[in-house]
Amino acid sequence: MSPIIEIKNITKEFKVLNRREGLKGSLKDLFSRDYKTVRAVDNISMSIEQGEIVGYLGPNGAGKSTTIKMMTGVLEPTSGEILVSGCVPYQNRTKNAQEIGVVFGQRSQLWWSLPLIESFRILKDIYQIPDADYDSILTLYKSLVDIEPLLHKPVRQMSLGQRTLSDILAAFLHNPKIVFLDEPTIGLDVSMKSKIRTLIQALNREKHTTVILTTHDMGDVDALCERIVIIDKGRMLYDNDIEHLKRFFGSYRTLRLRIGGDLKAHAASLQTALPECTVSADEEWISVLIDESKANVPDVLAQIQAAHTIRDLQLQEIATEDVIRKIYEEGVQ
């Protein structure tokens, strides 16, 4: 089977005006032709198969959105080739639009003052979805989430979580081959996050839709993606399955504890008690870095609790930024 998205050595450069400072500088800028070229995406290649869920990670400003805009056809690459389901997206934007769905985290494509069902009907007409397909996808939606109360509610009265959910449903409505989700769980609470993850997974399974997901939340990645692409400063750092990556950020978690007394001394004694973990202390907290392949969190916690009274504790996941730093430090592949 040929890949649904095929990217070969694409590069995207932006021309940015060199801004000067102060009032005088701003006035000069009005007539300035002094541009510098910024390379937002630098020689990236990848190929994505139909039905994959790909996590697209990178810190802010890494070039994730730029790549996605090139895949959707909003931007034209400076060099390199890009094929989305057999055609060049920026040359056939309107045709390409029929094959893709998008959700951009904070922005909604829904009609603000209309009930959700009206937005669905409009989209049905715009995308020219046949009645039978429309009915069957609504039935599918009803079996996956409880949308009945949402359907008749104007979008502006929805909570952020409900709106994101609705936006995702709207993106899948015309049965696109690919759906781009740009930070879909940003700003949502834990239960809504998990609801949305379940939904994305179910839609991917039912419709065999390719999903490209950008996120900062390692939880999204863990729950959804089998394959991960990481970019930073426009360059590809990593493209492989999640298991492979886990060996690097491991299944590490940091347990942070607040206990009374001399922290340095406690830390030293804990270190001898827990040889498989790394214990350190600062002014307020004792941090225990746990490698979950060797020890599990409840056991470690129980061990500490036996010796000390814990006043407060935090459990930290490794963030994308840490993963990238780790990749930089240790190298992958």
Partner 1 sequence: MKLKKYLTLTRAGIIESLQYRLSTFVMVIGNLLYLIVVYFLWRAIYNSADSDVVNGMTFYDTLIYLVLATALYGFMEIYAVWEMGRAIQSGKIVLDLLKPMEYRSHLFWSYSGTFIVNFIATFLPTFLVVAIVTHGTIHFGLNLLFFVISVVFAVSINYSIDFLVGTICLYTESIWGINIMKQMVVLLLSGATIPLAFFPDTLRTVVSYLPFQSIYNAPLTLLLNGTPDPQEVLRTIGTQIIWCIVMMLLSKGFWKVSLRQITVNGG
Choose between 35 and 328: whose C-beta lies nearer to partner 1: 35
Asked if 63 contacts 43 with a C-beta cutoff of 8 angstroms, the reply is no
Q: Which residue number, 31 or 112, has a Cβ lying nearer to partner 1?
A: 112
Q: How far is the CB of 89 from partner 1 (least distance, A)?
A: 10
Nearer to partner 1, 114 or 289 (CB): 114
Please report where in the chains the tokens 């020689």 appear, as a residue. Answer: 43
Per-position DSSP letters for 125-153, written without gaps between them: HHTT--HHHHHHHHHHHHHHS--HHHHTS
Main-chain dihedrals φ then ψ at residue 55, nearest 5 degrees? -90, 125
Q: Is the Cβ of residue 39 or residue 253 nearer to partner 1 in the bound state?
A: 39
- Dump strand ranges (E) for 109-251: 178-182, 210-214, 227-232, 235-241
Smallest separation, CB 278 to partner 1 (Å): 43
Please state, in angstroms and rounded to a whole number, the distance separating the CA atoms of residues 54 and 230: 10
CA–CA distance, 105 with 193 (Å, rounded to integer) = 13
* Single-letter code of the amino acid located at 118: E
What are 204's two structure tokens? 């991917």
Output the six-digit token pair for 118. 């009206």
| Closest approach of partner 1 to the CB of residue 239, in Å | 24
Least separation in angstroms between CB 227 and partner 1: 24
Q: For partner 1, which is the closer residue by CB, 180 or 249?
A: 180
- Contact residues for partner 1 (CB under 8 A)? 12-15, 40, 66, 69, 72-76, 78, 90, 93-95, 97-98, 100, 102, 104, 107, 109, 111-114, 118, 121-122, 125-128, 154
Q: What minimum distance in Å lies between the beta carbon of 125 and partner 1?
A: 4
